[in-house]
Structure 1
């Protein structure tokens, strides 16, 4: 008896077609990943899934055990295809890679539709194409090897094999971007291969003579040619006529909102005074590579509700300031920027603690330079339109990251004279004070073009106002906040007094009142000496400015804050006419302005304490990865199957009347023989089953032991008499039958060899799994 089950004749071609169609489906993910590493993962999943299914079939493993074997192969062999950097010696699974293979299969589907493209983080994202291809390969291979050969082949049944590749192809479309990858070519190739395979794998009709068979072959060839030509023509014409334009394509990433809600974090501008008062002399971070006059962006805010300038809600406008996407090292290109220069700046954090990530210009790549911060970088989210990055885990002391960014090109005012502002939709600015609208009209009375009006507003604020951060050393107090009452106060007092928070907020509202797309940007403007390599940024370097979008140009910055700090004392308003700001009760949001950012400080005490308790040396993790994980993956299924077998034996031996328990001993014996790889005939008598097993057992090498065939036939006769004689069966006969059955099964295990005994640990059989071969016919043919 062969230990390996023969390979079905047509299964090879079926598996080849299944693999080719799956590759065409996986290729649809190219627009999401941007490179071809995902294809290596997809091919690896096909190889592992198909190979494990074939091996389980050849070793005569049952369907359940075969599935467990493919899961084991998924974890043991998936590391080099998906996460070689996390593996032990690249190819062996580690704790990190095993966890990634599990997490990626579950959460990768949700991540890929919320990640910014190209998808590079989290580290387990290549698991998605690997898992998808592996799952399709396993299911399709089992259908081709176990299900389809046992049934009459029809087009409907053969089409079941195409369900998996079709779903994979649709997944590549839905999880891609609005720019398809070779959509026409892939679609035509998929249709041609599927139709031709269905036509050629139909069951052959009865062939009468050789000329008839020849005519049938010629008809098949002609039909195949017609199908191929028709698919190419129809696919090409239909694709050209009916294919949607990129912006109208339906992809999930355009329909599903990112999970980040930026309004969960306080407005950066609300905490402006915290930097100028509490952190004025605190070193926040060191910036290396900045040029003289360059500024660091922290956050861009385009939504105003009468209390705060803030980023918009995530569902306000697609691509607005609230639309943050999870990104990796590579950052999406901004939609509106003209750049002829790039900058590389490295930031080393020393005292900055917030979620808003400082950077220059519009980043194209962000690299975290140490392992600790790289792990946290998987929470990096970015808004390409506003140039704002958020690290949801919080920026921590000691972080070091390098940003390569595009810098917005600067233009002279005369270059923008004929340029209109950009036509774009921003969140509405609500509750704008009437004095703001009146002052905007007053300041822009003699200007005609947008750039002239904006420069007029900027000049009026810079020359007529005075700078004060509300410090004790300032000559005139200046209340914090930029709500409607504070902006109204800025213009109604005899002198305008405030800092960047109030002046930037006011100018942005004036621009909005004129119908211009404006936003407030908060950041840092350190004094970088000529030739300096690095500069230390402190809280006193905080600043804010206004940006207005010009058509085809980008966001042009305006700095309306005055430089004058000495307010004329004789122009200070009298307390009787205007209440002093110190005693005036500001809105509730203003009372908490200086403390707003403290809510995002992250307390790592418990986390650090917990981490210290879990610290293990490197060799211990290596042992866990090399021994623990394989032992768990192998031992787990063995324990589960062993428990099922023990439960089956207890029920057969202890449940029911005496004749039922005697019959249970025979069922236990035949199931055990089947699990060892013996062919147990089905649908015949116990005596014939005993004869068939004796003939197989006689051919085994028993290493000097007496063959068990002498005990099978008497046991079969005893079981028949107990079942059919109608008498009550005592416990002594039950115990005798079970003892003989287990003894015979033990001898069969010895004769089967180590490999078959090992495989039997992963198999659990029942009568429906036995061989359906008619042993009487086979014995007759042997005698002939």
Structure 2
């Protein structure tokens, strides 16, 4: 081998050599991953167990392997990003959402969509879901994504930065930032109940102090070079560990904040669903009794005799209507709905009675309020369009009410496991006080409510007996009328203050569940008892059970009052259909019919008392089912478009800049074109990875570039020195060259660039399309702070 060949080989870029991490780098990676693992464990309170650790540890391992792999093969920033993204989606399916893969390993479109959606929206869901979180399926993507990012960045810092820079404390401090951020994130997304805060905090601090103490130099001499220095360093390390354990344990015991004083983001972020955006269900009571009274709303299987189906629970009264509580006014009120999975949190005040599983299939019912029995403990959407919207389910544990923000429609079905409230007798409640429950104050209540409550409760002692006395007054003296034209005495709809006054002040009380339950609940609240109105359905259920058809005529409402240690006990103040008064003579019937007492007739015309209920006009083609793109498809599409944009948008921008640069250099006199051809050649070689020192003459730079050209038997290096001489002749000769000379020089220059591209590896050719020499030179000047040195 000649001396020139040897020099060329020594000067050629070492693109094929593998850069394996050294022993110290492996130690750095191990320490940083251990710190990150302490941060991942902080997610335990949110998930209520260790089920998320498979995703969290999987993200740590994947991020570390990706960082080591890309560093060993010296991949550039763009290729590192591409490899990391591909690995994130391929491995993430099996680690974070294995239930959506094939055989628990092979990714599917659904698993890829969950990874994309969970990465973006999982954080908000984690903070709004009631703990412990278990659904939606993509919720496990949160610890996976967090640990993956931290492990990848930490490994890249250890292999590409710490290993080739002077060992200073501030550089190691920067390397600690990702793991520290993950530790803090685990705290912020947690709950008021910290997970092993003292142990984790002390372990984190000790590991950081020991690592910094042994990794940074002391006085410029390695501590291991002298046995006395090594002994002192070991003794100092032991002392640091002991002090950290003692001081950290004492601080955790004496200075740790109380549970209610811990700052977690969960307490600062309200659930996105606001039930006040929807009309009060009780305001639409007459829609069921007058408009769809004979139409089937849904079918239910598994009901027991006497079961009531809860639709909505209302505990706030404004003088106009009953509604749910504003979630900003009461965190435990009827308006605070949380994202939930299949397993639902238990009710805070209930004496549970086991209930068989209930299956409900929607037919004519359309609303966001989900009809259910008692207090659900397990809920699953089993059919219809709603099955694809399980992430839109919200639940209020204190009321047992559920909503599906996308609404229920014909064909939707679901299954409920629930417990019902034990119904004790009035005698059993006679010695039980009402519960101390925080409810919003009622406003706009007419004075007659309080006066009638005091009058009717006179003589009763206990709260239960007073409430029963008021209920019996309604039942025995009131008359039932739904305001239909066929009723003997129609009644006006509504339950505002004026309607309640009319009910209580009239000679005969006439109304239906909407008015009687409203008046009874307001009377109970005037006595200081916690009461709320519940709207739902009460179908007739036979002893054999079976499938029951629920129509609009089965709609009902009742009142629940909270008793200490018992729960929310139901009261039904609405009178049944009664016999016709004796002064009313029924019309003769062709066949004997059972007689029922209806309210006395009114002198007013029915039309004056009826309150029409307007329904939305439906388009004739409303029942037509249009094709709807599933939500996951949008997530996958956005993810793919984003990835393509990251790859091709920079390529387009760089290509435009280079094309403009080329056009500018080929303009002007021949001498300027010749100089531009050489500048273009130098820039292209620099972008291919060649060392192109500035401020060198063209012949000297040509010699340097020829020496860097990789030795190859198939391809000889281009004659750059000849090209440099021809360029100098055209630039400095002073003669006006012919246009053909400039074109030929440009052809030779671009040919030399083509030869260099052909000799370069495919990876280098790809990266050159994203490089601009001027930007590379600027970045090199800004980042060069000290000579690099190897750790070996």
Fold-level similarity (TM above 0.5) = yes
Aligned counterpart, 1:382:
395
Tell me how far apart the structure 2 counterparts of residues 76 and 725 of structure 1 sit (CA, whole Å). 62
Matched, 1:744 2:752: yes
Aligned counterpart, 2:293:
280
Cα distance, 1:220 vs. partner? 2.0
Does the 8 A contact of 2:685 with 2:692 survive in 1?
A: no
* Secondary structure, counterpart of 2:346 in structure 1: coil
Matched, 1:131 2:145: yes
Task: Sort the Cα spacing of 1:531 and 1:605 in 2 relative to 1 into closer, same or farther, 3 A.
Answer: closer
Cα distance, 1:350 vs. partner? 1.5
Q: Bigger shift: 142-151 or 525-534?
A: 142-151
Matched, 1:646 2:655: yes
Task: Sort the Cα spacing of 1:697 and 1:149 in 2 relative to 1 into closer, same or farther, 3 A.
Answer: same
Tell me how far apart the structure 1 counterparts of residues 120 and 577 of structure 2 sit (CA, whole Å). 59
Aligned counterpart, 2:715:
706
| Cα deviation code 1:50-105 (max 9, x no counterpart) | 33333333333333443344334333443222333444665455444444333332
Tell me how far apart the structure 2 counterparts of residues 284 and 208 of structure 1 sit (CA, whole Å). 81
Does the 8 A contact of 1:682 with 1:767 survive in 2?
A: no
Task: Sort the Cα spacing of 1:148 and 1:428 in 2 relative to 1 into closer, same or farther, 3 A.
Answer: same
* Secondary structure, counterpart of 2:210 in structure 1: helix
| Cα deviation code 1:546-576 (max 9, x no counterpart) | 1111122211111111124335275977968
| Cα deviation code 1:525-559 (max 9, x no counterpart) | 11111122322211121111111111222111111
Task: Sort the Cα spacing of 1:67 and 1:351 in 2 relative to 1 into closer, same or farther, 3 A.
Answer: same
Task: Sort the Cα spacing of 1:252 and 1:441 in 2 relative to 1 into closer, same or farther, 3 A.
Answer: same
Instruction: Return 5+ residue gaps in structure 1 as ranges.
Output: 586-590, 773-784
Aligned counterpart, 1:194:
208
Cα distance, 1:417 vs. partner? 2.8
Task: Sort the Cα spacing of 1:731 and 1:389 in 2 relative to 1 into closer, same or farther, 3 A.
Answer: farther
Aligned counterpart, 2:70:
56
TM-score, length-scaled by structure 1 = 0.86
Matched, 1:363 2:376: yes
| Cα deviation code 1:317-358 (max 9, x no counterpart) | 111111111212121222222225244211111221111001
Task: Sort the Cα spacing of 1:731 and 1:30 in 2 relative to 1 into closer, same or farther, 3 A.
Answer: farther
Cα distance, 1:740 vs. partner? 3.6
Task: Sort the Cα spacing of 1:283 and 1:606 in 2 relative to 1 into closer, same or farther, 3 A.
Answer: closer
Q: Bigger shift: 75-84 or 628-637?
A: 628-637
Cα distance, 1:449 vs. partner? 1.4
Instruction: Return 5+ residue gaps in structure 2 as ranges.
Output: 1-13, 585-598, 666-671, 783-792
Aligned counterpart, 1:313:
326
Tell me how far apart the structure 2 counterparts of residues 510 and 117 of structure 1 sit (CA, whole Å). 37
Aligned counterpart, 2:124:
110
Task: Sort the Cα spacing of 1:631 and 1:170 in 2 relative to 1 into closer, same or farther, 3 A.
Answer: closer
Task: Sort the Cα spacing of 1:584 and 1:467 in 2 relative to 1 into closer, same or farther, 3 A.
Answer: closer
- Aligned length in residues: 746
Matched, 1:156 2:174: no
Aligned counterpart, 2:681:
666
Task: Sort the Cα spacing of 1:501 and 1:402 in 2 relative to 1 into closer, same or farther, 3 A.
Answer: same
Aligned counterpart, 1:233:
246
Aligned counterpart, 1:33:
47
Task: Sort the Cα spacing of 1:141 and 1:408 in 2 relative to 1 into closer, same or farther, 3 A.
Answer: same
Cα distance, 1:754 vs. partner? 5.0
Q: Bigger shift: 200-209 or 535-544?
A: 200-209
| Cα deviation code 1:270-316 (max 9, x no counterpart) | 11121122222222111111111121111110001111111112211
Tell me how far apart the structure 2 counterparts of residues 251 and 115 of structure 1 sit (CA, whole Å). 14
TM-score, length-scaled by structure 2 = 0.85
Aligned counterpart, 1:293:
306
Matched ranges for 1:190-269 at <5 A = 190-207=204-221, 213-269=226-282
Tell me how large the CA RMSD over aligned residues is. Answer: 3.7
Tell me how far apart the structure 2 counterparts of residues 764 and 37 of structure 1 sit (CA, whole Å). 48
Matched, 1:536 2:549: yes
Tell me how far apart the structure 2 counterparts of residues 57 and 602 of structure 1 sit (CA, whole Å). 62
Residue among 477, 480, 496 paired with 1:464? 477
Tell me how far apart the structure 2 counterparts of residues 301 and 191 of structure 1 sit (CA, whole Å). 51
Cα distance, 1:452 vs. partner? 1.4
Aligned counterpart, 1:583:
608
Task: Sort the Cα spacing of 1:332 and 1:692 in 2 relative to 1 into closer, same or farther, 3 A.
Answer: farther
Cα distance, 1:379 vs. partner? 0.9
| Cα deviation code 1:719-769 (max 9, x no counterpart) | 678889999998666655543444334334444455665676677773467
Residue among 514, 518, 527 paired with 1:505? 518
Tell me how far apart the structure 2 counterparts of residues 115 and 661 of structure 1 sit (CA, whole Å). 63
* Secondary structure, counterpart of 1:129 in structure 2: helix
Q: Bigger shift: 537-546 or 83-92?
A: 83-92
Matched, 1:332 2:369: no
Cα distance, 1:636 vs. partner? 5.4
Does the 8 A contact of 1:671 with 1:767 survive in 2?
A: no
| Cα deviation code 1:679-732 (max 9, x no counterpart) | 637578576765565455444xx4x52321x52444456667888999999866
Task: Sort the Cα spacing of 1:2 and 1:257 in 2 relative to 1 into closer, same or farther, 3 A.
Answer: closer
Q: Bigger shift: 24-33 or 633-642?
A: 633-642
* Secondary structure, counterpart of 2:298 in structure 1: strand
* Secondary structure, counterpart of 2:312 in structure 1: strand
* Secondary structure, counterpart of 2:544 in structure 1: coil
Does the 8 A contact of 2:687 with 2:771 survive in 1?
A: no
Aligned counterpart, 2:6:
none
Tell me how far apart the structure 1 counterparts of residues 337 and 222 of structure 2 sit (CA, whole Å). 69
Task: Sort the Cα spacing of 1:749 and 1:396 in 2 relative to 1 into closer, same or farther, 3 A.
Answer: same
Does the 8 A contact of 2:313 with 2:535 survive in 1?
A: yes
Cα distance, 1:445 vs. partner? 0.8
* Secondary structure, counterpart of 2:129 in structure 1: coil
Cα distance, 1:189 vs. partner? 1.8
Tell me how far apart the structure 2 counterparts of residues 606 and 289 of structure 1 sit (CA, whole Å). 29
* Secondary structure, counterpart of 1:280 in structure 2: coil
Task: Sort the Cα spacing of 1:393 and 1:629 in 2 relative to 1 into closer, same or farther, 3 A.
Answer: closer
Aligned counterpart, 1:396:
409
Tell me how far apart the structure 1 counterparts of residues 243 and 155 of structure 2 sit (CA, whole Å). 30
Tell me how far apart the structure 2 counterparts of residues 748 and 381 of structure 1 sit (CA, whole Å). 63
Cα distance, 1:182 vs. partner? 2.3
Residue among 158, 162, 185 paired with 1:171? 185
* Secondary structure, counterpart of 1:583 in structure 2: helix
Does the 8 A contact of 2:678 with 2:724 survive in 1?
A: no
